[in-house]
Amino acid sequence: AFEVYAELSDVTVTVQPDESIAQALNRAGMKIKVSCEQGTCGTCLCDVNEGIPDHRDVFLTDEEKEDNDQMLICCSRAKTPRLVLDL
Ligand code: FES
């Protein structure tokens, strides 16, 4: 599990192994829109303010992934214990 802080909304969630970041945030009352939930469509793209994502999508290019400043929260996870998202 890892922690996600949605900075603009001031919401913190713990993301369990069996759920996505988007699911965890929606469980906490947020309204994250998802579509494919497989990392292909780009609907759930958001900016990363802190932490390193574990990119599991096929939407971002390798270069974009290396920048670690945006991620797809329907499928990607975290390499750091905490991510701060611009949500
Ligand atoms: Fe399609 Fe996340 S919902 S990439």
- Binding pocket residue ranges, ligand 1, CB within 6 Å: 34-37, 39-44, 57, 59, 72, 74
What does pTM read for this prediction?
0.97
Query: Binning pLDDT at 50, 70 and 90, where does residue 69 land?
Result: very high
User: What is the per-residue pLDDT for 78?
Assistant: 98
Is this prediction's ipTM beyond 0.90?
yes
Q: What is the pLDDT of residues 5-47, one digit of tens each?
A: 999 999 999 999 999 999 999 999 999 999 999 999 999 999 9
User: What is the per-residue pLDDT for 63?
Assistant: 98
Other beta carbons within 10 Å of 86: 13
Tokens of 78: 């975290």
Summary mean pLDDT of the chain: 98
Report CA(22)–ligand 1 centroid distance (Å).
10
Angle at 14 between CA 11 and CA 17, to 5 degrees: 145
- % residues pLDDT > 90 (the chain): 100
- Pairing label, strands 70-72, 2-6: unpaired
How far lies 83's CA from each of 20, 31, 35, 36, 78, in Å? 13, 18, 22, 22, 7
CA gap 69, 29 in Å, rounded: 24
Query: Looking at ligand 1, which residue's alpha carbon is closest to its atom 4?
Result: 39
How far lies 80's CA from each of 31, 35, 43, 53, in Å? 24, 26, 23, 7
User: What is the per-residue pLDDT for 61?
Assistant: 98
